[in-house]
Structure 1
């Protein structure tokens, strides 16, 4: 395997660059210690099995967080199939290319405290069960969805699949409480199975459901979350046309799930409301 690079130079024939043939992970690292590392490595391993890319050795991966340095960092790992093959047909003997980069990170505590405004996206995610849950390099759908708005007051966009079923936000997972039960979209056809989502489902009873946007109209609380930003309460949901579809006041019901998430990430777990 090619050596990991902190300042990556990728040749034009790299299959990750040419075809999106690879995987990536973004890991929150605090003073050299990675958060939710087992969940990240489990997802990476699943992706490697699915794509048929050899998983890097544990010793090679486990040493990278310490190289991120002191303070709060985001460590990005990119694993491609490497170079070789003919067109879409890969070489029968893959020589993966592992790249990494660590950057400083500042969370947004005002979004933890006061919540966020989000909107529905017009784009619909394609259904492809073989790739469902993976954090693969083909993220054009997310790029196109994120281009739908430039209003700084809108923090995220909610995505449905081509059948109209709720899936996720552009870069976060979606959770809600309905009739006293915690729920999150089932990701068996598309979407990214986030590592914070996985860790919360190990701790709490969170039902995976296949439901349309009407479920949010029935919700007592809605959140967006990932392993970098933590958990944001949703206080307003707009349609793709800007019309208001729902609103919530941040209260104690939001803080229960938020405390669980933030304990996992080392973020503040106590709030004023």
Structure 2
């Protein structure tokens, strides 16, 4: 399919059609990735494909990484916008009716569409809500980016109605993540980020930051914490691999300062998003 909004490949063919019996549609039975595209170059595609493959393994879905990567290269060759988002979807394919995942060939769907960055959020920060929509506890699916995103859909609808760009999502009183990003805070000089052992997505940008703390010599802890930790925090920032790093200037009525840790990580990664 070729259109003004972008391109799509379904199992290696230009198309925007999948079977009505596809398990990705019927049950959210699959995994996906979203990858920033700048000037036809992808940001951290290999890391995204590695996470896709890991998620597929947990769900026992066949995953042909070579075919997926080939589809990505083909579709990017046809995309001429300066900025875009590449979306990679892998489903269990089409089977007979019923939850039981009988043997089927997986379906891969790769699409790309234009994207507009929000530099003002990078520079000036973002205001967060505390979402009333909670996250469910499911350790078996924790960390992976599976296709069932109903919690995030409900949270996004809530945030839109309330006039917020992004919001914190909780599980049993613990901060887990935001609706489309991960969260970090600096408390008493120590960088902390929520544990994702029970729910949440292990973001690529989150992993990059955690890895870089070692080379930068920064203290960091992955731990469970509630809103009270964010009240005490000297600074808070959110991140994902599409928009980068946004400092938090306010959590509902609670003001926060843009601090040196947020700016340090922005300095480390600005070239990937705005060079």
- 8 Å Cα contact 1:36/1:199 also seen in 2: no
1:3-42 alignment runs, 5 A limit = 3-42=11-50
Q: Are 1:97 and 2:107 matched, yes or no?
A: yes
Distance 2:11 2:86 in 1: 16
TM-score by length of 2: 0.88
Which residue is 2:94 aligned to?
83
The one of 260, 267, 271 aligned to 2:274: 267
Per-residue Cα deviation, 1:109-150 (whole angstroms, up to 9, x for no partner): 001111011100112111101100111000001111122233
1:1-273 alignment runs, 5 A limit = 3-65=11-73, 67-68=75-76, 69-70=79-80, 71-91=82-102, 93-150=103-160, 154-161=164-171, 163-205=172-214, 206-238=220-252, 244=253, 246-263=254-271, 265-267=272-274
Deviation at 1:16, TM superposition (A): 0.3
Distance 2:187 2:37 in 1: 33
Distance 2:122 2:19 in 1: 41
Deviation at 1:65, TM superposition (A): 4.1
Deviation at 1:251, TM superposition (A): 4.3
Q: Runs of 5+ in structure 2 lacking a partner?
A: 1-9, 215-219
Distance 2:244 2:13 in 1: 28
- 8 Å Cα contact 2:21/2:96 also seen in 1: no
Distance 1:247 1:261 in 2: 25
Cα separation, partners in 2 of 1:57 and 1:154, compared to 1, 3 Å:
closer
Distance 1:63 1:86 in 2: 29
- 8 Å Cα contact 1:182/1:207 also seen in 2: yes
Question: Aligned-residue CA RMSD in angstroms?
Answer: 1.8
TM-score by length of 1: 0.88
Cα separation, partners in 2 of 1:147 and 1:85, compared to 1, 3 Å:
same
**Larger helix fraction of residues:** 2
- 8 Å Cα contact 2:169/2:179 also seen in 1: yes
Distance 2:42 2:266 in 1: 20
Per-residue Cα deviation, 1:228-262 (whole angstroms, up to 9, x for no partner): 01111100101xxxxx1x21232434201222233
Number of residue equivalences = 258
